C-alpha cells in the first residue's frame, strides 16, 4: 500500500461525481481504477493498494460484494485516519497544510462515518476569533477560568 495526500487540492474536489484515485492491484496486476477503497471524505488521497489475498479474476460484482475487499477498505481507511492523527500530533505545520487544502472534505466524514466520528472531530481545526486554527481539544484547554459556554458562528460567503 502506497498512499499520499497531494500538496494542492484538485479543481474538481467538490464535484459530486468525483471518484477516488486509489488503484487496486492483485499480485502486481492492475484490477481497477475506481474500486472505492476509501470513503468519499478521503477522495483527495491518491495511491495504490496491492493485495495478495484477492483472486485475479475479480469482476465488478465481486468488487462490491467481496468480504476480503471490505476488510481491505476498513483497514486502509483506518490507516489513513491514523496517519493523519499521527501527523497532526508530530508535525502540526505539515498537518495544517493538509487541513487548509482538504479540511472541508475531511469534515464530511464527521457525519458520514459514524465509526470514526470522534477521531475525525479530533482532527478538525476551527478558526477562533483571534484568527488562529485550533482543535476543539486545544480550544477547551485554553478556556478562561469562568467560561462555561462556547459559541460557534457558521456562514457561507459569496463573491456574487
User: Is 154 a domain residue?
Assistant: no
In the three-class reduction of DSSP (H, G, I as helix; E, B as strand; rest coil), residue 14 is classed as coil
Q: What is the pLDDT of residues 16-62, one digit of tens each?
A: 777 778 998 888 888 888 788 899 899 899 999 998 888 777 766 67
Q: What's the CATH number where 137 sits?
A: 3.30.230.80
Number of H helices, E strands in the chain: 5, 6
CB atoms closer than 10 angstroms to residue 108: 16
Alpha carbon distance 80, 75 (integer Å): 9
Q: Report the distance separating Cα 95 and Cα 79, nearest Å.
A: 16
Q: Whole-number mean pLDDT of the chain?
A: 86
Any domain includes 76? yes
Domain that holds residue 60: 2-141
- Between strands 46-51 and 21-26, the pairing is parallel
Amino acid 34: pLDDT: 76
Amino acid at each position: 500500500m502506497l498512499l499520499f495526500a497531494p500538496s494542492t487540492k484538485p479543481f474538481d474536489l467538490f464535484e459530486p461525481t468525483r471518484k477516488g484515485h486509489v488503484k487496486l492491484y492483485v499480485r502486481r496486476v492492475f484490477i481497477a481504477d475506481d474500486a472505492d477503497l476509501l470513503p468519499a471524505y478521503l477522495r483527495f488521497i491518491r495511491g495504490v493498494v496491492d493485495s495478495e489475498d484477492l483472486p485475479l479474476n475479480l469482476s465488478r460484482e465481486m468488487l462490491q460484494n467481496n468480504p476480503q475487499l471490505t476488510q481491505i477498505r476498513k483497514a486502509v481507511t483506518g490507516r489513513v485516519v491514523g496517519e493523519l492523527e499521527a501527523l497532526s500530533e508530530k508535525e502540526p505545520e505539515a498537518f495544517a497544510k493538509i487541513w487548509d487544502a482538504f479540511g472541508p472534505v475531511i469534515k464530511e466524514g464527521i457525519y458520514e462515518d459514524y465509526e470514526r466520528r470522534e477521531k475525525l472531530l479530533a482532527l478538525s481545526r476551527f478558526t477562533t476569533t483571534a484568527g488562529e486554527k485550533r482543535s476543539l481539544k486545544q480550544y477547551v484547554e485554553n478556556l478562561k477560568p469562568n467560561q462555561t459556554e462556547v459559541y460557534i458562528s457558521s456562514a457561507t460567503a459569496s463573491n456574487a
